[in-house]
């Protein structure tokens, strides 16, 4: 019987394949975005400009290969121009096109129409990103013949150049996920912050890329010299995919209906990033930078979880409601909303402390927890005095800017010998701990800052727990109702059986 079903399914697939185009098998969102993206003036203009300028670089390389007097200078100029032409479109121009990817759908009020096609928020955001990445790959493929021509002109290791282009493509995919994910945010301030980061990239990264592939060439050489190239390349690739997934999932959560639990996926990704961070830390060397990247991404997940509004929808708690006591308690850290984001953040803070800090160094623990609580106290202040704030991010940002200004003022006074002023203001900002690291403050003030920050953080955490009690009570009530209903259904089935 099963054999007949399989044969019938294969027959239906073959019938569907007859006369079907490739677009019928791909996501409609992806097809729409690719077709529209390739017709834009930006893509067509960049594509034609790159081809014309690549011909100019080949002419320079040819002159450098044949001339005897000034050939080396011309060849070096051609090499720098070649890598600049590849890096600018790949690493900056194409990813920056994603800065309005999701925002354009929101402003045009077309998201509802997309949801009518049964596309999930994840498929919409992923389709936007993959369309951008496919156009980047198409642009890259168009310049590969010029790479081969440079190889035949001599003086070029084609495998090294392909490795550098591969790192550029990986960074382009990551940066595209960054811009597409954050384009879904409604906060103009947050999008402005992303714009500042992009401006930094535009003004500083080209100088790093010109000449032999820049930082990407150094990364490729460092990977080979470390002896871990066979392991490092797939590890960094998997890690980049995980971080990219986190960025896209963050964007999907902004446009998703409340019934979708995107907090679950982001927080599981955070646990995986922590595992990769431990692995990179053990490998050491060139991988230490990846440890920092993962811990920053984990910090972003925790910070984002503390800004989420609670969602009290019964279907979100159904799966976890029937589990055993301890497992059910640990499973609650994957519920959406800041009350459960606080539980997740607490678990991650302890995990990072035990995995990366020396247990015998009490001062390291005090500095670490002091720095963390200097961030958390602001969240406690917000939920204690502004529990109904529509955009707690703006209040958090204002507090951090004010704290940074106070740190700058106290640091300036300390540099001229006034070290005791503003002691009681020191624990209010994480920026104060940079004064401790740089030893700007007197050593006698270090313990005051740390103990003050720990005290403020503990009070703020207690305040957040106090504000979260109503949400916890409602969730426990929903879980109990679900368990009672399941027991009632089991009893009815037993009686009818």
- In this prediction, residues 180-202 reach a mean pLDDT of 65
| CB atoms near residue 295 (< 10 Å) | 18
Q: What is the pLDDT of residue 207?
A: 44
Least confident among 26-40, 223-237, 372-386: 223-237
- Alpha-carbon distances, residue 375 vs 224, 230, 325, 363, 419 (angstroms): 39, 39, 31, 19, 24
Is the model's pLDDT at 204 over the cut of 50?
no
Q: What is the pLDDT of residue 425?
A: 54
> What is d(CA 182, CA 170) in angstroms, rounded to the nearest whole number?
19
> What is d(CA 371, CA 453) in angstroms, rounded to the nearest whole number?
7
Q: What is the pLDDT of residue 213?
A: 46
Q: What is the pLDDT of residue 267?
A: 93
Angle between helices 41-66 and 71-87 (to 10 degrees): 160
If one compares 242 and 422, the residue with the highest pLDDT of the two is 242
Most confident option among 145-154, 188-197, 216-225, 246-255: 246-255
Q: What is the pLDDT of residue 273?
A: 92
| CB atoms near residue 216 (< 10 Å) | 24
Per-residue pLDDT reduced to its tens digit, 132-152: 998 999 888 888 888 888 777
Is the model's pLDDT at 306 over the cut of 70?
yes
Q: What is the pLDDT of residue 356?
A: 86
- In this prediction, residues 113-129 reach a mean pLDDT of 83
- In this prediction, residues 315-322 reach a mean pLDDT of 80
Domain boundary assignment for the chain: 23-224, 227-356, 361-484
Per-residue pLDDT reduced to its tens digit, 367-397: 777 778 777 888 888 888 888 888 788 888 8
- In this prediction, residues 232-239 reach a mean pLDDT of 80
If one compares 75 and 492, the residue with the highest pLDDT of the two is 492
Q: What is the pLDDT of residue 203?
A: 44
Least confident among 31-35, 94-98, 157-161, 437-441: 437-441
Confidence at 202, pLDDT banded by 50, 70, 90: very low
- Three-state DSSP at 215 gives helix
DSSP class of 100: G
Helix (H) or strand (E) holding 160: helix 158-182
What DSSP line would sit under 216-253, residue for residue? HHHHHHHHHHHT-HHHHHHHHHHHHHHHHHHHHHHHHH
> What is d(CA 464, CA 472) in angstroms, rounded to the nearest whole number?
12
Q: How many residues does the chain have?
A: 497
| Average per-residue pLDDT for the chain | 76
Least confident among 77-91, 226-240, 251-265, 308-322: 226-240
Most confident option among 16-20, 280-284, 347-351: 347-351
> What is d(CA 302, CA 341) in angstroms, rounded to the nearest whole number?
7
Most confident option among 233-237, 457-461, 464-468: 464-468
Q: What is the pLDDT of residue 323?
A: 78
Q: What is the pLDDT of residue 211?
A: 44
State what percent of residues in the chain have pLDDT above 70. Answer: 72
Q: What is the pLDDT of residue 6?
A: 59
Q: What is the pLDDT of residue 116?
A: 77
Per-residue pLDDT reduced to its tens digit, 59-116: 777 776 665 555 566 667 767 777 777 888 888 888 888 888 888 888 888 877 777 7
Per-residue pLDDT reduced to its tens digit, 256-304: 888 888 888 999 999 999 999 998 888 877 777 788 888 888 988 998 8
Is the model's pLDDT at 201 over the cut of 60?
no
If one compares 276 and 210, the residue with the highest pLDDT of the two is 276
């Amino acid at each position: 019987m099963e054999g007949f079903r399989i044969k019938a399914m294969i027959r239906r697939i073959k019938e569907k394949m007859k006369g079907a185009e490739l677009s019928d098998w791909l996501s409609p969102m992806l097809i729409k975005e690719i077709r529209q993206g390739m017709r834009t003036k930006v893509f067509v203009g960049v594509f034609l400009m790159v081809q014309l300028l690549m011909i100019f670089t080949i002419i320079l390389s040819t002159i450098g290969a044949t001339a005897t007097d000034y050939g080396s200078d011309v060849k070096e100029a051609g090499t720098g121009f070649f890598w600049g032409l590849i890096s600018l479109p790949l690493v900056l121009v194409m990813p920056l096109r994603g800065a309005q990817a999701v925002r354009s759908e929101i402003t045009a009020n077309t998201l509802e129409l997309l949801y009518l096609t049964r596309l999930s928020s994840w498929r919409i955001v992923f389709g936007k990103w993959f369309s951008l990445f496919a156009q980047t790959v198409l642009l890259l493929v168009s310049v590969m013949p010029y790479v081969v021509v440079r190889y035949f002109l001599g003086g070029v290791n084609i495998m090294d150049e392909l490795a550098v282009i591969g790192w550029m493509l990986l960074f382009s995919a990551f940066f595209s996920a960054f811009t597409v994910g954050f384009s879904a945010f409604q906060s103009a301030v947050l999008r402005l912050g992303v714009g500042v980061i992009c401006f930094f990239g535009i003004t500083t990264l080209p100088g790093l890329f010109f000449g032999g592939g820049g930082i990407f060439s150094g990364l490729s050489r460092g990977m080979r010299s470390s002896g871990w190239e066979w392991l490092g390349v797939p590890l960094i690739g998997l890690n980049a995919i995980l971080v990219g997934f986190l960025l896209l999932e963050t964007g999907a959560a902004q446009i998703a209906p409340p019934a979708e639990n995107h907090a679950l996926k982001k927080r599981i990704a955070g646990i995986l990033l922590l595992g990769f961070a431990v692995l990179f830390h053990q490998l050491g060397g060139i991988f230490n930078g990846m440890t920092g990247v993962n811990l920053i991404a984990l910090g972003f997940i925790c910070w984002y979880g503390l800004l989420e509004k609670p969602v009290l929808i019964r279907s979100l708690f159904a799966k976890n409601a029937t589990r055993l006591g301890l497992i059910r308690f640990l499973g609650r850290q994957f519920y959406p909303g800041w009350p459960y984001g606080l539980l997740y953040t607490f678990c991650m803070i302890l995990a990072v402390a035990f995995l990366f800090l020396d247990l015998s160094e009490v001062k390291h623990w005090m500095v670490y927890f002091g720095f963390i609580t200097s961030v958390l106290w602001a969240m406690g202040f917000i939920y204690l005095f502004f529990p109904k704030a529509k955009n707690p991010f703006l209040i958090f940002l204002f507090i951090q800017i004010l704290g940074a200004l106070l740190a700058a003022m106290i640091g300036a006074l300390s540099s001229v010998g006034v070290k005791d002023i503003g002691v009681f203001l020191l624990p209010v900002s994480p920026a104060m701990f940079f004064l401790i690291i740089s030893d700007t403050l007197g050593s006698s003030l270090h313990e005051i800052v740390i103990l003050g920050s720990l005290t403020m953080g503990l009070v703020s955490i207690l305040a957040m727990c106090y504000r979260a009690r109503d949400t916890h009570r409602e969730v426990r009530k929903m879980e109990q109702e679900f368990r009672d209903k399941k027991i009632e259904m089991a009893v009815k089935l037993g009686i009818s059986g």
